[in-house]
Structure 1
Amino acid sequence: MTETKITFGDLGLPEFILSAVSDMGFETPSPIQQACIPHLLNGRDVLGMAQTGSGKTAAFSLPLLAQIDIEEKHPQMLVMAPTRELAIQVAEACELFTKNAKGVHIATLYGGQRYDIQLRALRQGAQVVVGTPGRILDHIRRGTLNLSELKFIVLDEADEMLRMGFIDDVETVMAELPAQHQTALFSATMPEPIRRITKRFMTDPQEVKIQSTQRTNPDIAQSCWYVRGYRKNEALLRFLEVEDFDGAIIFTRTKTGTLDVTELLEKHGFRAAALNGDMTQQLREQTLDRLRNGSLDILVATDVAARGLDVERISLVVNYDIPLDAESYVHRIGRTGRAGRSGSAILFVEPRERRLLSNIERLMKKPIEEVDVPNHEALQARRREKFKAKITKQLEHHDLEQYRLLLEGLFTPDQDQEDIAAAMLMLLQGKQKLILPPEPPMEKRGRRERDDRRGERGDRRERRPEERRGYGNPQPMDLYRIEVGRADGVDVRHIVGAIANEGDINSRNIGHIKLYDEYSTVELPQGMPKELLQVFGKARVLNKQMRMTFVSEAGETVGRERHEGRRNDRRDNGFRREERRFNDRGNRSFNERAPRREFRERNDRRDRRDRRS
């Protein structure tokens, strides 16, 4: 029995949309597009759950753009996205979908862009507005964005807006909408605050759930390398040299990491550039344009900076630093293998990050294949292949005969031409040697053997009776202390913002936060690198350094904090001994009338002796 394939023409879309889609090379709608487009064309609210790369941008854009009234010069469709990159991507997609419809204007509103550019786009009568929640709310309050006649609103990646702290802005914007409007909400997960929005602002939504990242990204070859025997920098260079890719993204955990890796790649001849939150929006857009037009091959980025990127050239993703949560891994590898394209992803895993890898494999529902660093033979073969291709191409050059005559004039007839060619090979090879010495033998230990040995000696962390876990986050957490508290005027949102911004950490990785008068505690995933802890140690909250330190399972901080904790314990024990002594002697209650000043002075003298010792 032959299975009938559904085309875009079968979904009821108008001709100007179908022609644009056909020009873009799309013929068969993805599962989420097949499910959502008919409901949105029929005026139903839609609640879509799907991972990145599933084609949800077209799922809501095509049916809603088809219903735009070109004659009405006011906002009719509003799309809210968590990041400026995703907002730009959605706006560009809408422009492509409406290129055959004259009179459709699209305005993009996001932080970092000049207001006059956005105001000009709104005054031209933009029917479609795409932007981030903060800037959209800002325009509403300024009176430059009027949503009183809005027909459609889309919340794209709603769970990410929740994690980035935009949920209050989203609810404020939703409250400004007219009573009669159509809502489409898309989210990879459905936490309770997002569910609350659906109940409050959506009318009998049609739920569409697309299962399994594996099915939506079937053409991504995933592999991992356990960091051993080589430094990560050296391994990265070897993988990039051997891998056959057009464009690549390398993900690091911090902003500083993007600069360090970019400097390394440029030093070794790769065309690379960094992309992080410290860059201006104009510079970020210029960098992405260079990647698209081929003047740049490798982008080194953080998770936040790269969210929403969709560049066709990207065929390789390297996770130089493993993400702290599995969902971020899905978003990372989703930068390649999009819309039916194939791609590959490599993950670097340090020994202490084994638990993070297990979380990723559990989400992906399959093990990630372990690979070795390319050896000298693989490097030799790849370099010789590239060198041969260059020479073969040069043999077709129209000026080759002139250089042949030059060669005859430079060398005497008795000199061997093969020797001359070999000497030229030596000169032309440059730093990438075509003949490499064999590497010293290195002990190879497979993943199963390593796991067995770990099991034999026992993993104390795995046998812990309890593990701290973050809000809605199944991964184990560690407790850290920061030296800011209520007395400094901080709130939980200040701490979340500082950690998310300084470390480029997704806020979903931040667990429980407890505020005290002089300090606070925060839970972060296990296996956090020392370099990241150093970054948080210098980071500031309300202009005061956090000075983050790790807290042990018993609640004692390491180093100086642990020493002070023991000293405070001695003081408390002395206080209790004095109390018992006074009460046992039959005096009046120590707590009520005993001379506390003398006791405090005695403790102060003891503290001074401790400091001197």
Structure 2
Amino acid sequence: MTNVEITFVKLGLNNYLLKALNMIGYSKPSPIQKKCIPPLLLKKDVLGIAQTGSGKTAAFSLPLLHNINISNRNTQILILAPTRELAMQVSKEISLFSRFMIGVNVLVLYGGQSYGIQLKGLRLGPQIIVATPGRLLDHIKRGTVKLSNLKSLVLDEADEMLRMGFIEDVENIISVIPKGYQIALFSATMPIQIKNITKKFMNNPYEVRIASNINTIPDINQNYWNVYGRKIDALKKFLEVEDFDAALIFVRTKHATIEVSEMLKQSGYNSSALNGDMNQNIREQTLDKFKNGSLDILIATDIAARGLDVKRISLVINYDIPIDVESYVHRIGRTGRAGRTGKTLMFVENREKRFLRNIERKIKLNITEIFLPNSKLLTEKRIIKFGIKINKQLKSNDLEKYKIILSKLQYKNNLDQEKLSIALLKIAQGLRPLILPPDPIFKPKKIFYKNSKFINIHNKTKKKNNFYKKKYKNKDMELYTINIGKKDGVEIRHIVGAMINEGEINSHYIGNIKLFSLYSTIELSKILNKNFKKIRILNKLIHIKLFNN
């Protein structure tokens, strides 16, 4: 007896959702979607144990959207996420899935955004709220969020919320919601604190475990660059020094495909955008040029590049980090085809290091960090390319007439041939100088989290991860004071949450935190070099300044 293929249609989703899935190219459900959608459709509790990148957002969004009452303007679905980046990502995907369900309103709440904007959104009556725990708890205390009609609660990346100190906030939120709703909890690991939540709040949950099954491609050289400065300037430098036949650059939005392409064109690169808004004929013409070699660089979104198979692609750049591990693997799989070797580069901002670690863990490979090409290397590459242009022109058949012009210029300006050649060489370089000034001295003392250890990439020393009781040398950390203390009711978790979500600081750059009666102190890595503004803790606008000994 043959196995019957499971499709989204057979899972019982409504036509509006099926239409959206078809539009974005979801052909068949992933393993976690196959297992989670049926019990969630039946309004049962679900416990999902799976790595980031397994497709869990669709696994819980689709069945909950199927069961939603569009005519009811009360909040029916609440999704808690550890960071505002993840909350915004989940909100965006839900909006995509529900685009044909007229009347569905999704609102995202996170620290750092104006309360005024969020209050305006709440007055519109969102049926779905995606939020970070701290900001949602603030709204609950203010009485601006009502959860008395809640039908479904999702805890996304629960172990990450535990690591960031938000579990107590999560429990406080759950405690104010009237019973009778279903819970879906997703976590990559299952520490004791998460198990306690499942026992305390979940009702005989249906358990789903998804093992990692992604294998990376051995002929792809995978690298990442830790972002500092303008990404577009860095992109141009990397393209200058990389030897590639064709390059595919992935960005997150349609607008970004056009923006990046135009900036590259202005710098002389043969590039073009590829996105879902393009006319079909133009899209096909662009792909034909990319395949036949008349176009060197293509800037695309994930959806636009779906199914793209061009053997000459030797370089893939993730200008914007992919939203999940599957997307990363699909992106880099566009190179290294037909027995060729390929190279990939991913731009990773400090706040995105968690996604990098998830990718490394899933593909079971450490992605190599590389650094921005320096002025010496760029100068060497430019001179080599300029020399190639000269050699090409030396083979031209019409050089004699230019020889006459050269003689006239030399006689008229009373110059020897060497000086004239130097002047012409300087003019010929155009807007891209052949000789670059030395790089400014910049030695980032970067400390990043990898393989459960803190590693200083300059001295290679390793320290155990004791989280908020780490002992750093003074050269690595600086002590700051915060004008909020025990008398204000502040706790360490409040400070951590605000620094991560509103200050946009990776938790691994935070050292010791001490609470005093009227103020607190916090150690922060020197490499941050941040000017902290408009950070609120317990709804109080705080001031962070260097501690003066």
In the TM superposition, what whole-angstrom CA distance separates every residue of 1:60-84 from its partner, at most 9, and x where no partner exists? Answer: 1001110112333322111222333
The question of whether the paired residues in 2 share the 8 Å contact of 1:471 and 1:511 is answered with yes
Q: Does 1:162 align with 2:162?
A: yes
**Which residue number in structure 2 is paired with residue 240 of structure 1?**
239
Q: 2:317: which partner in 1? A: 316
Alignment of structure 1 residues 232-381 onto 2, 5 Å: 237-241=236-240, 242=242, 244-247=247-250, 316-317=317-318, 334=323, 338=327, 341-343=330-332, 345-346=344-345, 364-368=363-367
Q: Is the 8 A contact 2:468 2:513 kept in 1?
A: no
Give deviations 1:443-482, integer Å, cap 9, x for gaps. Answer: xxxxxxxxxxxxxxxx9987x9xx5432599xx9746687
1:59 aligns with: 59
Q: Which amino acid aligns with 1:17?
A: L
3-state DSSP class of the match of 2:178? coil
Q: C-alpha deviations, 1:297-348, integer Å up to 9, x for none?
A: xxxxxxxxxxxxx9758963479xxxxxxxxxxxx56568628741375379
Measured in 2, the distance between the counterparts of 1:385 and 1:519 equals: 64
Q: Is the CA contact (8 Å cut-off) linking 1:107 and 1:121 kept in structure 2?
A: yes
Provide the C-alpha distance between the structure 2 equivalents of 1:472 and 1:544, rounded to a whole number of angstroms.
18
Equivalent residues in 2 for 1:477-516, closer than 5 Å? 478=472, 489=485, 492-493=492-493, 496=496, 500=500, 504-507=504-507, 510=510
Aligned residue for 2:173?
A: 173
Matching residue of 1:199: 199
> Are residue 97 (structure 1) and residue 93 (structure 2) matched?
no
Do the aligned partners of residues 382 and 197 (structure 1) sit closer, same or farther apart at CA in structure 2, a change above 3 Å counting? farther
Query: For residues 186 and 380 of structure 1, do their structure 2 counterparts lie closer, same or farther at Cα, with a shift above 3 Å needed?
Result: farther
Counterpart-to-counterpart distance in 2, 1:419 and 1:10: 77
Aligned partners of 2:203 and 2:78: how far apart in 1? 18
Secondary structure of the structure 2 residue equivalent to 1:79: strand
Q: 1:77 to 1:335 in 2, by over 3 A?
A: closer
Q: Distance in 2 between matches of 1:268 and 1:547?
A: 47
CA distance in 1, matches of 2:502, 2:121: 33
Which secondary structure does the structure 2 equivalent of 1:11 belong to? coil
- Between 1 and 2, higher relative CO (CA 8 Å, sep ≥ 6) is seen in 2
Aligned-pair CA distance for 1:20: 1.6
Comparing both structures, which one devotes a greater share of its residues to strand?
Answer: 2
Q: How far apart, in 2, do the equivalents of 1:486 and 1:54 lie?
A: 40
The one-letter code matched in structure 1 to 2:317 is: L
d(CA) in 1 for partners of 2:515, 2:39: 46
Quick check: 2:52–2:325 contact (8 Å CA) kept in 1? no
Q: Is the 8 Å Cα contact of residues 247 and 313 (structure 1) preserved in structure 2?
A: no
Shift of 1:17: 1.4
SS of structure 2 residue aligned to 1:91: helix
Task: Give the Cα–Cα distance (whole angstroms) in 2 for the partners of residues 507 and 342 of structure 1.
Answer: 28
Matched residue of 1:9: which SS? coil
State the 1:32 CA deviation. 1.9
Deviation at 1:29, TM superposition (A): 1.5
Who is 2:281 aligned against?
Answer: none
- Distance change in 2, residues 1:110/1:360 (3 Å): closer
Rounded to whole Å, the distance in 1 between the matches of 2:51 and 2:170 is 21
Question: What's 1:33 paired with?
Answer: 33
Distance 2:186 2:17 in 1: 22
What's the counterpart of residue 8 of structure 1? 8
Which position in structure 1 is the counterpart of 2:211? 211
Whether 2:84 is the aligned partner of 1:84: answer yes
Closer/same/farther in 2, CA of residues 483 and 113 from structure 1, 3 Å limit: closer
Q: Kindly provide the CA deviation profile for residues 107-156 of structure 1, in whole angstroms up to 9, marking residues without a partner as x.
A: 33344555565445444443222233333333333333321121111122
State the Cα distance separating 1:177 from its structure 2 match. 1.6
Partner Cα separation in structure 2 for residue 488 and residue 140 of structure 1 = 22
**What is residue 72 of structure 1 aligned with on the other side?**
72
Pairwise CA distance, 1:160: 3.4
The equivalent of 2:256 in structure 1 is none
81-90 vs 493-502, which moves further: 493-502
The question of whether the paired residues in 2 share the 8 Å contact of 1:161 and 1:167 is answered with yes
Secondary structure (helix, strand or coil) at the match of 1:29 reads coil
Check whether the contact 2:236–2:264 (CA below 8 A) recurs between aligned residues: no
CA contact (8 A) 1:485 1:515 kept: no
The equivalent of 1:18 in structure 2 is: 18
Structure 1's 248 and 430: CA in aligned 2 closer, same or farther, altered over 3 A?
farther
Q: 1:82 to 1:64 in 2, by over 3 A?
A: same
Q: 1:58/1:547 Cα in 2 relative to 1: closer, same or farther (>3 Å)?
A: same
Q: TM-score scaled to structure 1, two decimals?
A: 0.51
Partner of 2:149: 149
The 1-side partners of 2:128 and 2:358 are apart by 39
* Counterpart in the other structure of 1:138: 138
SS at match of 1:10: coil
Distance 1:80 1:531 in 2: 30
| Conservation of the 8 A alpha-carbon contact between 2:73 and 2:125 | yes
Deviations 1:520-540 (A, max 9, x none): 99899xxx7x645x7699xx9
Aligned-partner Cα distance in 1 for 2:220–2:61: 30
Q: How does 1:425-504 map to 2 (within 5 A)?
A: 430-432=430-432, 468-471=464-467, 478=472, 489=485, 492-493=492-493, 496=496, 500=500, 504=504
SS at match of 1:12: coil
Aligned 8 A contact 2:111 2:501 in 1: no
Query: Does the CA-based 8 Å contact 1:483-1:519 persist in structure 2?
Result: no
- Whether the aligned pair in 1 keeps the contact of 2:224 and 2:367 (CA below 8 Å) is no
The residue type paired with residue 342 of structure 1 is R
Alpha-carbon separation, structure 2, partners of 1:100 and 1:78: 21
Separation of aligned partners in 1, 2:94 and 2:357 = 38
Q: Deviations over 1:166-209 (max 9, x none)?
A: 33332222112221111112233334433332222212222323
Q: Would you say the 8 A contact 1:82–1:156 is kept in 2?
A: yes
Normalising by structure 2, we get a TM-score of 0.56
The verdict on how the C-alpha distance between 1:379 and 1:365 changes in structure 2, with shifts beyond 3 A counting, is farther
Structure 2 counterpart of 1:582: none
Q: Is the 1:486–1:518 Cα contact (8 Å) retained in structure 2? A: no
Name which of structure 1's ranges 482-491 and 198-207 shifts more when overlaid on structure 2: 482-491
In structure 2, runs of 5+ residues without a counterpart are 253-262, 269-274, 279-300, 306-315, 333-342, 349-355, 390-397, 407-422, 437-457
Rounded to whole Å, the distance in 2 between the matches of 1:175 and 1:544 is 33
Task: Decide which structure has the larger Cα Rg and report it.
Answer: 1
Alpha carbons of structure 1 residues 145 and 495: separation in structure 2 relative to 1, 3 Å: closer
Flag the structure with higher helix content. Answer: 1
* Backbone CA RMSD of aligned residues: 5.9
Determine helix, strand or coil for the equivalent of 1:154. Answer: strand
When residues 235 and 507 of structure 1 are mapped into structure 2, their CA distance, relative to the original with a 3 A threshold, is closer
Alpha carbons of 1:487 and 1:504: their partners in 2 closer, same or farther (altered >3 Å)?
Answer: closer
Aligned residues of 2:483 and 2:543 also touching (Cα < 8 A)? no
